[in-house]
Each structure stands twice: as C-alpha cells, then as structure tokens.
Structure 1
Amino acid sequence: MSARAELEKVIATHAQKMGSTVKLPKHWVFNQMDANSVRKAAVLILFGSATGRGVHEAAKPEELDLLFVERASTLRKHAGQIAFPGGGIDPDDGSASAAALREAWEETGVDISGIEVLGQLTETELPVSSFLVTPVVGWWHTESRFYAADLRESSDVFRAPVTHLLDPHNRLTAVVQRGAQRFKSPAFEYEGHLIWGFTAIVIDRLFAELGWNKPWNAQREIKLK
C-alpha cells in the first residue's frame, strides 16, 4: 500500500470521530484547559518528496519528508520551538483546512495551489496555550520555494525526511522539570533541531496509527527548561 493510501485510511478513521476532541498524554499536561479562553487553531502536516521533486501517488513512506518551522525566539509562547506551520483560525477562513493553508503561506511562502488537502485529524487540546488544534494533512504534489516569510513568527523553515524521523537513533524523550513534577514527550533530532512537545506528540501518534513507528529507546532522555 502506498503512503498516500495509508494516510487516507487513517484520515477516514478520524473523520468518523468528527466533533470529538483528543487530549494530550497526561504526562505532558502542564495545566487544564481554560474553558473561558479556548481558541480554535489549525496546523499543516505537509508531506512532500524527500527528493524535492514533488510526491507521486505511489510514493512509499521512505520517499517522503515533512515541512517544519522554527518559531521566533521573541514570541511570547513556544519561542524557539519546532512546529508545523499553523495558527489561529480566523472568521474569514471558513474551515480548519483553509486556516492551515493560509498560515502555511504566511509563515513559509509556499504556493498553496500545489498542495492537496487529504483531510483532517481529530482536534487536539493544547492546554498550555488554550488552543483546540486541528491537524490538517497535506500532499505537496507541486512543490515551490519556501522560506521564513515572517521573521516575527518564524526564524527558520526546513524539511525533515520521514526515514530520519523514524530512525530509532534519532528518537528520544524530552523531559521538563517543574518543581517536583516531571513532564515527558517523545522527541526527534534532526540536524541540530529538536522536535518535541505538542508537535512531536502529533507526529508520534500519526506514525503509530500508520504503522510506521520502529521500536526506540524511550529511556534516552534530554532535559529541557
């Protein structure tokens, strides 16, 4: 089965859960959602070709990569962290998919006409910033240039091959110590970048549903502030 077919199968199972909300793992919840300040957001999980030539219908997982942004160090929340392109859903967006594409264009300059939206994953709680986030899965069939389009939001944009992210040698557990409490999330290393927290949780869950994950050493930890 092609990677695209596997993605569409997973997306179909999430479509059956439309209207429900997924929580983050208990060991990564710093606080509870504030019902009075909850906002809707969307992120784009964009699968492109690891060769940079655009993905074809029959592409295998090892032929794919993912697009990430490094958030600006001056931001009030999640400063310097690696994330998917995305942000709040505006009234004019019309849908989570439209918001994810708009944010991707604003942050990375990608030509969104070359992106096909395959579907959405179940909305996920992000209590630390009171967001309900909808991950939108994109298929980058006609690639374009990308760059940090708004330096107030992002300091860098890069692509990471799926094979690198799946390699057990590049996987570890991120640990944040807050007093007597320890919070843990999966993490991925890529060329000096550390992908952890919400983004890593979403990737790990998606890879698990796709059956792509390989056994890795969760006892290998990196401590973060």
Structure 2
Amino acid sequence: MTSAPAWLTRLAARDDLRDHAWFAAHPPPRSGARESAVLVLFGPGEHGVDVVLTERAHTLRAHPGQVSFPGGGVDPGDDGHAGAALREAQEEVGLDPEGVDVLAVLPPLYLTPSRNAVTPVVGWWPEPAPIGVVDRREVARVVRAPVDDLLDPARRFTAVFGDYRAPGFEVSGLFVWGFTAMLLDSLLDLAGLTVPWDDTVERGLPDSVMSPWMRTLAEHGEGA
C-alpha cells in the first residue's frame, strides 16, 4: 500500500479552512439548503499522485459536459457526508468504498444557483483499482488527472463567462472551471503546492461545457 503524501496529510489536518478566502465567502445558510457531498479522491498513479474527475454526460439538463468530482445529494441512509460521497462515487465510477481512506470532511460550500450546500470529502486511495463510467446517462468520461498537470502554469488560465472570472485548468482533454476548478485551486493553494501562473491569460467557456441557457446568453452577447 502507498501512503498518502505529506502535503495531503497536512492539508487534511488543517483546522483553519473556514478562514480561507473562498470557504469564508461561501458559507451555507442556516436552513433551506440541499445537502450534498463530493469526493476529492487522490491516489498514486502512473505519473505521480492524481485525482479522480468526471465529465458529466452532455445530455443532462443540469451542467451538461462540465467536469466535476464524484458526488451528489445526501440520502437519509448515508453515513454522513463521507458516506454520501463514497456511495455516489461507487454509483458513478464503480469505486469500491472499502478501498478509500477518508482523510477529512471539509467545511461546506454554498452554491447559490442550485441552493446546494456541498461538503468536500478528501480521500486517499492507497491501492487504486480500475474505475470507469457506470451509467452513460450520467457520466461521459472518468479521468485520473495528475496533480503535476494541474500545477503546470501552461495548463492554467482564467475562465471567463460574462462577468464571471475564476481559475480554470486544461487537463487530460478536460476544460475544468466553476466549482470544481475553484475547489482544486483552493486545495492546491492550501496544500502549499501552487506554482505561480499567469492569471491574465483568459479563456472563454467552450460550447461543450455550456448548458442551453448559457448558450442563449452567449449568442446574445451577454456571456461574451
């Protein structure tokens, strides 16, 4: 079995994440939010430590084609947020929950448009096994993205859509933006891994990651 890297164990042990700018800016409301969880799963890969990402099916009504972590809503029978994240990962990519060491349950983040309070669950996969798409109606592709690629300044940029400007990544043929990119950016920063990159390099969203309403805005110049 491969032990988790020191930077990941240090990250998981931090108790000040609520003070980080992004976490502090997105606390969930006291009530009314839907509870969900995502699994940020790291493991040893062919090119160093990698993280599991999924490309959502392009036929979905919500966030078609966008890159996300395995995850979803918390069900009454789940063992908390960690249990929900592991169950969703099993359903989406065929992950065996028994093979995952849950290192930390991070503070929840509120996504205003969907009214979701999303709790990131950080895990380590000491002995990775094959994973892949379980249901193509939900997931188009599963990728284990090398952390070194995510840190590469040449793969980093500012994603732009209308007034929206936030970190983005190009990795393994995926355009990573939005919540997933912000969470990756924050965790890499908190782990002390971030390499300086040029945030003046801006890239608009490709059509493949835009939902119909976003395409409509772009066509009318509102998302340009």
TM superposition score category, shorter chain reference: 0.7 to 0.9
Trace 1:176-195 onto structure 2 (pairs within 5 A).
176-177=161-162, 182-195=163-176
- Counterpart of 1:163? 148
Q: Aligned Cα RMSD in Å?
A: 2.5
2:187 match: 206
Matched residue SS, 1:129: coil
Give unmatched runs, 5+ long, in structure 1. 26-31, 52-61
Q: Is the 8 A contact 1:14 1:122 kept in 2?
A: no
Do the aligned residues in 1 keep the contact of 2:108 with 2:117 (CA within 8 Å)?
A: yes
C-alpha separation in 1, matches of 2:172 and 2:99: 27
Partner of 1:122: 107
Task: Single out whichever of 116-125 and 4-13 deviates more from structure 2.
Answer: 4-13
SS at match of 2:142: strand
**Amino acid aligned to 2:41:** L
**1:112 counterpart letter in structure 2:** P
1:101 shift after superposition: 0.4
The corresponding residue for 1:45 is 40
Counterpart in 2 of 1:218? 199
* 3-state SS, counterpart of residue 14 of structure 2: helix
Match of 2:218 in 1: none
* CA distance 1:22–1:145, shift in 2 (3 Å): same
State the Cα deviation string for residues 88-141 of structure 1 (Å, max 9, x = none). Answer: 111110210000000000000112211111111211111121111111111111
Residue 150 (str. 1) matches residue 145 (str. 2):
no
| Contact 2:70/2:88, CA 8 A, preserved across alignment | yes
Letter in 1 for 2:118: V
Contact 2:53 2:69 survives alignment (8 Å): yes
- In structure 1, how many angstroms separate the alpha carbons of the residues matched to 2:100 and 2:190? 23
Identity of aligned residues (%): 43
Q: Residues of 2 paired with 1:16 and 1:170: CA distance?
A: 26
Q: Does 2:126 correspond to 1:141? A: yes
Q: Which amino acid aligns with 2:106?
A: L
The amino acid across from 1:7 in the alignment is L
1:101 and 2:86 equivalent?
yes
